[in-house]
Amino acid sequence: MDGYAFTLAGAELLALPSGALYWPAQALLCVSDLHLGKAERVARRALSPLPPYETQDTLTRLEEALALTGAETVVCLGDSFDDDAAARALPPKDRLWIATLQAGRRWIWIEGNHDPGPVDLGGEHLAELSLGPLTLRHIAESGAQGEVSGHYHPKAGLRGRWRPAFLLDAARLILPAFGTYTGGLRSDASVLADLMGPQAVAILTGEVARPIPMPR
């Protein structure tokens, strides 16, 4: 499997080019910030009628990641839905699709700032998850160790091109947003630069997962 292999707090992990994280020892796949139902929420707020295909696209890529890894546990690291109403408004076809993906797997929804409430879809709903040496939560906490989080949609640039990226240092990993309709925050933004240690690495997503020193 192509990806960038690294160790965080003793756990051997793999950053996939798609922006998903795989933990082979636990057969666990982690994705963050799916923002399912974004187009619906934007339309509901009368902002604009965005093409309503982002849920389909995001789930297609999630399905591919599951097929690739054969993961037995899936952790969606928060902001899985653009808001709670967007989760409720998911069309039956997409609900069924999610149920199919969940079949035979442990599935955990971590709560995010966009989707704090439990969803009426299968799977567990947790504020955070501790597993072995790692803690999986939506928003990074200062001073945490062995923490895997999302929320910031980090992007990093190489040769002038910025794209979604994992940010990694000795204490924590921040995942890029996996959802189709998501923008990004550059790694040189002060909140990210302050959070990440001086030796931090950004792992670019795209064709290959490519590590570079984190631009700051």
Partner 1 sequence: MLQTEAAPPWSGGGGAYAIPEVLEQIRRHRITLIFHNTRAQAEIFFHTLWMANDEGLPIGIHHGSLDRQQRERVEKAMVQGRLRAVVCTGSLDLGIDWGDVDLVIQVGAPKNVKRLVQRIGRANHRYNAPSKALLVPANRFEVVECVAALEAVKDNDLDGDPRGPGPRDVLCQQILIAACSGPIDPDALYSEVTSAGPYADLTRPDYDACLEFVATGGYTLRSYDQWQRLKQRPDGQWQLRDPRAAQLIRMNIGTIQDSDTLKVRMKRGGGRALGEVEEGFAASLTPGDTFLIGGRIVRYEGLRELTVEVSRDPGRKPKVAVFSGTKFATSTQLSHRILRMFQQDSWPELPAATAEWLALQREVSRLPQPGRLLVESFPHDGRQHLVAYGFAGRNAMQTLGLLLTKRMEEMGLAPLGFVATDYATLIWGLDAVSDPGPLFDRTALREGLEGWLAGNAVMKRTFRASATIAGLINRVTPQARKSGRQATFSSDILYDTLHRYDPDHLLMQVTREEAMRGLVDFGRIEEMLDRISGIDHLALPRVTPLAAPLFLEVGKVPVEGEGRARLEEAEAERLMQEAGLA
Which residues of the shown chain bind partner 1 in the complex (CB under 8 A)?
39-40, 43-44, 46-54, 56-57, 89, 91, 152-153, 157-162, 180-186, 199, 201, 204, 207, 210-213
Which residues does 28 contact at the CB level (< 8 Å), separation at least 6? 22, 71, 72, 73, 74, 75, 131
Measured between alpha carbons, how far is 170 from 148 in angstroms, rounded to an integer?
11
Residue 58 · residue 94 · CB < 8 Å: no
Please state the closest distance from residue 73 (CB atom) to partner 1, in A. Answer: 28
Please state the closest distance from residue 168 (CB atom) to partner 1, in A. Answer: 10
Please state the closest distance from residue 161 (CB atom) to partner 1, in A. Answer: 8
Which tokens go with 70?
């054969």
Our CB check for partner 1 shows the closer of 99 and 170 to be 170
Our CB check for partner 1 shows the closer of 2 and 72 to be 2
Measured between alpha carbons, how far is 69 from 93 in angstroms, rounded to an integer?
24
Please state the closest distance from residue 213 (CB atom) to partner 1, in A. Answer: 4
Measured between alpha carbons, how far is 121 from 99 in angstroms, rounded to an integer?
8
Our CB check for partner 1 shows the closer of 131 and 215 to be 215
Our CB check for partner 1 shows the closer of 109 and 152 to be 152
